Chain A
Amino acid sequence: MSALLVLAVTAPLLGLVPLFLLGPRTGERAALAMLAVNLAVTAGIAEQVAQGGRAPGYFVGGFAPPLGVGLRADGFSAAMMLMAALVLLLTGLFAMTGPGDMTRKVKARGSAGRPATFFILLLSLACALNLAFLAQDLFTLYVALELLTFAAVPLVCLEGKAGQLSAALTYLLFALFGSVLYLLGVVLVYGLFGTLDIAHLAGLLAQGTGGATAAAALALMSAGLMAKAALFPLHLWLPPAHSGAPPAASAVLSAVVIKAPLFLLVRLWSDLAPLPLTQVAGPIFAVCGAAAIVFCGVVALAQERLKLLIAYSTAAQIGYLCLMFPLAASDDGQWSALAWTGGTLHLVSHALSKAAMFLAAGLIAETMGHDRLSGLSGVGRLAPVSVAAFGLGGLSLMGLPPSGGFVAKVMLLTSALQQGSWWIATVVLAGGLLAGGYVLRVVVIALQHPDAGLPEARECRWRALIALALAFGAMLVGFMPLAPLPFLDIGRPLSWEGLLP
Chain B
Amino acid sequence: MSLLFDAVLCLLLLLGALGVVATGAARPAVIAFIGYGLLLGLAWVRLDAVDVALTEIAIGSGISGVVLLHCVRALPAPPRAPAAHPMLRPLAAAIAVAIAAALALAVLALPEPAPTRAADVAAALPATDLGNPVTGVLLVFRALDTLLEKVVLFLSLVGVWALSRDPACRGRPAPLSPEPAPAPSAFLARVLAPIGVLVGLYLLWAGADHPGGAFQSGAVLAAMGLLLVMGDQIRVPAAGNRSLRLLMLAGPFGFLAVGFAGWATAGVFLGYPPGAEKAVIIAVEVAITLSIAVTLALIVLGPPADEGRS
Contacts and interface: CB of A to CB of B under 8 A. Distances in A.
Contacts of B73: none
Tell me which of B102, B245, B269 has the highest count of chain A C-beta atoms within 10 A of its own C-beta: B269
A368 to B, nearest CB: 25
A188 B114 CA distance: 11
Give the one of B102, B106, B155, B246 with max A CB within 10 A: B155
A279 interface: no
Contact of B159 (A16, A24, A127, A153): A153
A60 B144 contact: yes
Interface stretch (B13-21, B22-30, B80-88, B160-168): B160-168
Contact of A60 (B116, B124, B248, B269): B269
B106 A147 contact: no
A139 B256 CA distance: 19
B121 interface: yes
Contacts of A66: 117, 120
A67 B141 contact: yes
Contact of A61 (B117, B140, B159): B140
A157 B163 contact: yes
A117 B165 CA distance: 13
B161 A117 contact: yes
Given A20-B249, A116-B168, A150 B159 contact: yes
A69 B145 contact: yes
A420 interface: no
Contacts of A63: 124, 140-141
B46 interface: no
A61 B145 contact: no
Interface in B132-190: 140-145, 148-149, 151-152, 154-156, 158-159, 161-163, 165, 167-169
Interface stretch (A190-198, A358-366, A402-410, A436-444): A190-198
Contact of A68 (B106, B115, B142): B142
Interface string A1-30: 101001001100110110011001000000
Contact of B168 (A3, A24, A184, A213): A24
B120 A67 contact: yes
Given A13-B252, A62-B271, A194-B116, 7 more contacts: A10-B256, A61-B144, A62-B267, A116-B167, A116-B168, A124-B151, A143-B149
Interface of B: 102-103, 106-107, 109-111, 114-117, 120-121, 124, 140-145, 148-149, 151-152, 154-156, 158-159, 161-163, 165, 167-169, 242, 245-246, 248-249, 252-253, 256, 259-260, 262-263, 266-271
